[in-house]
A and B are shown apart, each in its own frame.
Chain A
Amino acid sequence: MTPQLGGVLGFRDLLPLEAEILREAQESLLAEMRRWGYRHVITPLVESMDVLDAGLGVEQRRRLFKFTDGRGDVVALVGERTVPVARLVAGKLRAVELPLRLCYAGPVLSTDEGRFHQRRETYQVGAELVGASGPVADAEVIALAARCMESTGIRRYQIDVGHAEFFHGIMDAVRLPDQVKAAVRAALVARDFVTLESLLEDTPLKSAEHELLLRFPALRGGPEILDAAGGLVRNRRSEAALSELARVRELLVAHGIGDVVHLDLGAIRDFEYYTGVIFEGYGPDFGRPVAQGGRYDGLLERFGRPAPATGFMIQLDLVSEMLTRASRPPELPRLDAALAWTASGLDTALRLGSTLRLFGMRAVVDTRVRSQAEAHAWWRAVGAANLVHCLGTTTVSWSVKGQRTRRLPPEQVAARIAGGGE
Chain B
Amino acid sequence: MGFDQYHEPPEELPSATRTFARLCASLTEEAEAIGWYEQRLALERDPDAAAVMRDAQGEEFKHFSMDLEMLLRRTPAWRKIAQGVLFQPGDVVERAETVEAEVLEGESGSEGATEDGSLGIRSLRGIER
A binds B: no
Interface residues of chain A, those whose CB is within 8 Å of chain B, are none
